[in-house]
Structure 1
Amino acid sequence: MRIVAALGGNALLRRGEPLDAAVQIAHVREAVRGLAALADGNELIVTHGNGPQVGLLAIESAADPELTAPYPLDVLGAQTQGMIGYWLIRELRRALPGREVVALLTETLIDPADPAFGRPTKFIGRAYTQAEAERMREDRGWAMRADGRAWRRVVPSPEPRAIVELPSIRRLVDDGCLVIAAGGGGVPVDPDHHGVEAVVDKDLTAALLAARLKADTLLLLTDVAAVMRDYGTVDARPIREITPERLRTLDLPGGSMGPKAEGACRFAEHRPGAVAVIGSLSDAPALLLGGAGTRIEAP
């Protein structure tokens, strides 16, 4: 079976935790236990988020007095692909001795005229109080938006149109490699391969990657057990199976579960038999067997 597994931000960092390397490495080790089980007897392609890491580098870059201008987001995205890819490779090789593991720096083609550039929505970086957010808006010109009770920076998140390194990824998978690719949604580039000041949603890129690789299953791994009906109320309950049409009617949080649901719907709709599952990383093997998570499949 060919599987694309997209690790949510919780795989590396949980809300409120410090962005220390040791904290993130510990979470990577936890994540790899689930990934190693998925890799047994299957072709596995792994993608991952990078919002907190890009945000940290952006803050450091903006505050560096020796720089005449902060590093652009496409460069920071490439940096985080290297860092997180290295951590995943190291732990996967330990967990799967003899399995060839490759991390590929990946670019994602976007449309420079995408309307997302006029309405930033993608959260990156740490949480701030409202007063701190106002200072960031004034001092650095950042767009800031409420994320629950906190405030965070938001940046444009254009639609992924194509994955530049797709032929290379396909050859590596066909050769038996476990491939880590399209981290953070891929480095956004325009048709002339210029970097773009944006962050592509990793779940939408994962769905595109899974469809183009003709994967059997797309796993969107997060820190909740399933998509919840009546989320945030006393009547909340997990959804075990749902069609893309019904899933799109649910009122899901735009900054977290919403993109996962849309990515799952796109993959499930792209061809008959394609299955997407949203669920907890700790339940990864059970997600494949239908014993956990929310299964999304077109009728």
Structure 2
Amino acid sequence: MARTVVVAVGGNALLAPGEQGTYEQQRANAAAMAVSICALLDAGWRVVVVHGNGPQVGNLAIQQEMGRGEVPEMPLFSLGAMTEGQLGSLIAIALYGACGRRHRIAALLSHVIVDLDDPAFELPTKPIGPFFSEDAATRLAETRGWDITEDSGRGFRRVVASPVPKGFVEIEAIRCLLDAGHVVVTGGGGGIPVGRRGDVWDGVDAVIDKDYAAAELAHQLQAAALVLITGVDAVQLDFGKQTQRRLTWMDSEEAERHLTAGQFPAGSMGPKVSAAVRFVERGSGRVAVISTPELVVDTLGNTDPANESVGTRIFHGDSRQGALA
């Protein structure tokens, strides 16, 4: 049976810096990304695509606020569902365009379980929506009651709670679609957050980090690989300094040391490296890849630690077996 890979695509990959976020702009970005996913399919992988929605859900929240005099506002988890449908359709259409009739695509809404007592609800950290100047951000915090933070030197953004994903409610449906030969697009925006209230699931106002959601889904599916798409070719140590250097081969213990040393900030590479470690540490022979769409296939197939033309591979700290998968 073909091996399974879960691919996590950021919401920013569909809405590039400086773009307004029109449908045409996002469609063009999705089309470029779809080419790389089709390359994975043609290489023999079974593929599940998880995507972010940070810019899109934040923009939708602004639209909701602007129109609240005409129509009622919806809760944040409902906006997450809307963007999961919107972007799932966008990605599915892009995959059909890139892959032709060679592969079948299914976009599926998914609910992701969170703990209602997760401390993340007391400390919002997940950036959503557009970037603002410091003055504009201060006004928004005062007038709308938003939590605002500076985001990696690029400006100020609204932040919301981002609890740890505990599992996918629709895991069996995802598995059935995958076994039936479909490319599955799911977990959009990290999935629709739900918590147990009494005997039923109920929506929770939060945005789950899509990298952590992808790692959880990959674990539940017993996937062989997790791919985390980003805007840089590979993970870098001392990023932005004269001593900056590329990492293309890293075990989970080394990755943990660099995380502890503060090499990978929470606002940029930190969640990706943490998600990769979480995935590979929960099963032998697994590999995680962090790279650009163009380098994913070559990075997955790389067995040379000295090869600096590919992205970053992360594998289990107890053995280098995962590096050779």
TM-score range with shorter-chain normalisation?
over 0.9
Which has the larger displacement, 46-55 or 230-239?
Answer: 230-239
Q: Contact 1:10 / 1:222 at 8 angstroms: preserved in 2? A: no
Name stretches of at least 5 consecutive residues in structure 2 with no aligned partner. 303-308, 320-325
**Structure 1 position 132 matched with structure 2 position 141:** no
Q: Secondary structure at the match of 1:190?
A: strand
Q: Which residue of 2 aligns with 1:255?
A: 267
Structure 1's consecutive aligned runs of 4 or more residues displaced over 6 angstroms after TM superposition are none
Q: Map 1:1-12 to 2 at 5 A.
A: 1-12=3-14
Q: Residue 60 of structure 1: CA displacement? A: 0.8
Q: Residue 67 of structure 1: CA displacement? A: 5.2
Q: Contact 1:55 / 1:125 at 8 angstroms: preserved in 2? A: yes
Q: Secondary structure at the match of 1:295?
A: strand
CA distance in 1, matches of 2:70, 2:77: 17
Q: Residue 69 of structure 1: CA displacement? A: 5.4
Cα-Cα RMSD: 1.3
Q: Deviations over 1:260-298 (max 9, x none)?
A: 001100111111101001011121221221261111001
- Alignment-mate amino acid for residue 112 of structure 1: L
- Alignment-mate amino acid for residue 247 of structure 2: I
CA distance in 1, matches of 2:83, 2:98: 22
Q: Which residue of 2 aligns with 1:176?
A: 181
CA distance in 1, matches of 2:284, 2:85: 35
Q: Residue 248 of structure 1: CA displacement? A: 2.0
**Structure 1 position 208 matched with structure 2 position 221:** no
Which has the larger displacement, 284-293 or 182-191?
Answer: 284-293
> Matched residues, percent identical?
42
Q: Contact 1:4 / 1:215 at 8 angstroms: preserved in 2? A: yes
- Alignment-mate amino acid for residue 286 of structure 2: A
Q: Contact 1:13 / 1:27 at 8 angstroms: preserved in 2? A: yes
Q: Residue 68 of structure 1: CA displacement? A: 7.0
The equivalent position to 1:81 in structure 2, one of 58, 81, 84, is 84
CA distance in 2, matches of 1:65, 1:12: 27
- Alignment-mate amino acid for residue 67 of structure 2: D
Q: Map 1:191-230 to 2 at 5 A.
A: 191=196, 192-230=200-238
CA distance in 2, matches of 1:174, 1:93: 19
CA distance in 1, matches of 2:48, 2:176: 12
| TM-score for the superposition, normalised by structure 2 | 0.89
Q: 1:200 to 1:165 in 2, by over 3 A?
A: same
Q: Which residue of 2 aligns with 1:292?
A: 310
Q: Residue 77 of structure 1: CA displacement? A: 0.7
Q: 1:65 to 1:168 in 2, by over 3 A?
A: closer
Q: Contact 1:61 / 1:67 at 8 angstroms: preserved in 2? A: no
**Structure 1 position 109 matched with structure 2 position 121:** no
| TM-score for the superposition, normalised by structure 1 | 0.97
Q: Residue 212 of structure 1: CA displacement? A: 0.7
Q: Contact 2:12 / 2:54 at 8 angstroms: preserved in 1? A: no
Q: Which residue of 2 aligns with 1:57?
A: 60
Q: Residue 9 of structure 1: CA displacement? A: 3.0
